[in-house]
Structure 1
Amino acid sequence: MSKSTVPAELADDTVILDVRRQDEWDAGHAPTAVHIPFEELQSRLGELPATDGPIPVVCRGGGRSSRATKWLNDMGYEAVNVAGGMKAWHAEGKPMESAGGADPKVV
């Protein structure tokens, strides 16, 4: 089981790891997020954000990020799953942006 947090517990400018697909990222993401799709995580570990604490990991609803969080913790990194994913982030009114300047949304 992985550790988790909820968007309300995170500051708006928290650096998070977004493990969604490119089309999901393009539609809407946290402005301070680092994008590494789940399928590429193992080969792109050197791109993980530097943080003073655990790395919050997010996907659309929490499934992929939960698996990524568990794997990262098993590999010796300190990570927490953002429960509810970007759907919860958006519902909480947290800042979002999108590629191309369209209104950000969670797909």
Structure 2
Amino acid sequence: MPNNVPSVDVPEMPVDLPADVTLLDVREKDEWEAGHAPDSLHIPMGELMGRLDELPVDNAVYVICRSGVRSARVTQYLNANGWDATNVDGGMHAWAHYRRPMACVSGQEPEVI
């Protein structure tokens, strides 16, 4: 994981994120479809550079992946390019562990894959 990346533990995050905060999920499509945080913005890490215009510039951004490694890299990149980004430590594994709300595209029980 990159050094000097601002991070937050899931229990420290508000359950209902304020309107001026974006939760950015950078996992692959199949991971996101299996289980994701409701209202998260899904932009896979590999597509991020081509889709930066979808990311609100004025919002604080929490970045999440499965475990926190990919999201740490994205957080570092966003902070170097003008965003206020924070990595979510433990990623969706921690999100599920702390029983935060999750949704699944198929309507089945959400899971972290």
What TM-score range do you get, normalising by the shorter chain?
over 0.9
Please show how residues 85-96 of structure 1 align to structure 2 within 5 Å.
85-96=91-102
What is the percent sequence identity of the aligned residues?
A: 46
Report if the CA contact (8 A) 2:35-2:102 is conserved.
yes
Residue 31 of structure 2 corresponds to residue 24 of structure 1: yes
Other structure's SS at 1:41 match: helix
Give 5+ residue unaligned stretches, structure 1: none
How far, CA to CA, are the matches of 1:51 and 1:12 in structure 2? 21
Residue 66 of structure 2 corresponds to residue 60 of structure 1: yes
**When you count strand as a share of all residues, which structure comes out higher?**
2
Could you tell me the TM-score, scaled by structure 1's length?
A: 0.93
Q: Residues 55-86 of structure 1: CA distance to partner in whole angstroms, max 9, x if unpaired?
A: 10000000000000000001111100000000
Residue 76 of structure 2 corresponds to residue 70 of structure 1: yes
2:15 to 12, 16, 20: 12
Give 5+ residue unaligned stretches, structure 2: none
Name the residue aligned to 1:47: 54
Q: Residues 25-51 of structure 1: CA distance to partner in whole angstroms, max 9, x if unpaired?
A: 000000010000000111111111466
Could you tell me the TM-score, scaled by structure 2's length?
A: 0.88
How far, CA to CA, are the matches of 1:28 and 1:46 in structure 2? 25
